Amino acid sequence: MTTHAIPTHAELVLPAPAKLNLMLHILGRRADGYHELQTLFQFLDHGDELGFALRADGQIRLHTEMPGVTHDSNLIVRAARQLQQLSGTALGADIWLDKRLPMGGGIGGGSSDAATTLLGLNHLWQLGWDEDRLASLGLGLGADVPVFVRGRAAFAEGVGERLTPVTLNEPWFLVAIPQVLVSTAEVFNDPELTRDTPPIKVRSLLEGGGRNDCQPVVEKRYSAVRNALILLNNFVPARLTGTGACVFGSFPNQDDADKVARQLPATLPSFVAQGRNVSLLHQQLQALAKK
Ligand SMILES: C[C@@](CO)(OP(=O)(O)O)[C@H](O)COP(=O)(O)OP(=O)(O)OC[C@H]1O[C@@H](n2ccc(N)nc2=O)[C@H](O)[C@@H]1O
Ligand SMILES: Nc1ncnc2c1ncn2[C@@H]1O[C@H](COP(=O)(O)OP(=O)(O)O)[C@@H](O)[C@H]1O
């Protein structure tokens, strides 16, 4: 994969930040098989980057290949095509992706790419869609897309679509990336999954409180995740994000996080990033709107 995947003639370059699920409770299972959750989302100042340029011929072309994902099934292309169809625009786009986030890591790379595509093309095509409309289109692409569209750290309920913005501390996180792909569907189908955690009120949610109900199942099934948690727990209380595979711990400053990162074995890649209550994507779009 190229590291500088975005050419200089891209007209708009925007970030697609990662997220963490600081806690994740499973309250029950709906008739359609999906699970009712309560989860706390915070963004990181680390993520993918996307470049966009207008095409007058109406075509949507993603120029970056992703292993295991075909062009047409890429969430970026699906988001762009749906926005194009529903808005009725005759315009198309060339799109480039600098993929920095691990796939299927529970840090929301695909969902964030989709949200950045929706907001980026809304800007480039001058559609004037509001956040509500973009978030509801996004929900059809994935449960985590709306929070990236809205760009505010949030307590999420339902399958992640009912969002209450929250203001959290913004510590530094060390995110370790066990080298294994965790299947979200498999975790949610596990008979041993805890599905009856009582609901909590957002105001009673203490920072750092709660737990990730998926963690026991993922630890049991994936030894790479189990070992990463054991390793990180030697330095800091460690937790799984989403359905994994990534695990994280928080630190009051970057130096402390970096020190631990240096002590992890080469077999467990990691990165250090700061928690953000406002996503970098929104900060950049606000700056563009002021120009
Ligand atoms: C649970 C979270 C928390 O952030 O995990 P991560 O994907 O980030 O790890 C997400 O909401 C995941 O959202 P997303 O990754 O979009 O899941 P989807 O592709 O829609 O779902 C994959 C499969 O997981 C199960 N699923 C997913 C979400 C949910 N609330 N209940 C479920 O039962 C369903 O079987 C579904 O077919
Ligand atoms: N642009 C994209 N980036 C990452 N994954 C994508 C993308 N488009 C489609 N996918 C598919 O979505 C799956 C989940 O993606 P990702 O968001 O990285 O994981 P998670 O939801 O666990 O954080 C990937 O395994 C891949 O098959």
Give the pLDDT confidence of 16-74 residue by residue, as tens digits: 999 999 999 999 999 999 999 999 999 999 999 999 999 999 999 999 999 999 999 99
ipTM of the complex: 0.95
Q: Measuring from atom 2 of ligand 1, which residue has the nearest CA?
A: 242
| Closest ligand 2 atom to Cα of 69 | 27
- Of the candidates 19, 98, 213, 256, the residue annotated as catalytic is 19
Which residues form the pocket of ligand 2, taking CB atoms under 6 Å from any ligand atom? Answer: 68-69, 74-76, 103-111, 113, 242
Confidence check: pLDDT of 206 > 70: no
Whether 153 and 42 have beta carbons less than 8 Å apart is answered as yes
Q: What angle do CA 208, 142, 132 make, to 5 degrees?
A: 85
Helix/strand/coil for 162: strand
Q: If you measure from the C-alpha of residue 44 to the centroid of ligand 2, how many angstroms do you get, rounded to a whole number?
A: 17
Architecture of the CATH domain 172-276: 2-Layer Sandwich (3.30)
Q: Which amino acid is at 249?
A: G
Q: pTM for this one?
A: 0.96
220 is catalytic: no
Between helix 75-87 and helix 131-139 the angle, nearest 10°, is 130
Helix/strand/coil for 223: helix
Confidence check: pLDDT of 15 > 50: yes
| Closest ligand 2 atom to Cα of 242 | 22
109 lines ligand 1 (CB under 6 A): no
Interatomic CA distance for residues 6 and 98, integer angstroms: 7
| Closest ligand 2 atom to Cα of 74 | 8
Q: If you measure from the C-alpha of residue 201 to the centroid of ligand 2, how many angstroms do you get, rounded to a whole number?
A: 30
Q: Are strands 12-29 and 247-251 parallel, antiparallel or unpaired?
A: unpaired
Q: Which fold has domain 12-166+278-290?
A: Ribosomal Protein S5; domain 2 (3.30.230)
Whether 235 and 263 have beta carbons less than 8 Å apart is answered as yes
Domain with CATH 3.30.230.10 in the chain: 12-166+278-290
Which pLDDT score, from 0 to 100, does residue 209 have?
Answer: 72
Confidence check: pLDDT of 3 > 50: no
Tokens of 109: 């790379």
| Contacts of 270 by beta carbon, 8 Å cutoff, 6+ apart | 174, 175, 176, 177, 261, 264
Which pLDDT score, from 0 to 100, does residue 201 have?
Answer: 84
143 lines ligand 1 (CB under 6 A): yes
291 is catalytic: no
Q: If you measure from the C-alpha of residue 206 to the centroid of ligand 2, how many angstroms do you get, rounded to a whole number?
A: 30
Domain with CATH 3.30.70.890 in the chain: 172-276
- Of the candidates 48, 98, 113, 144, the residue annotated as catalytic is 144
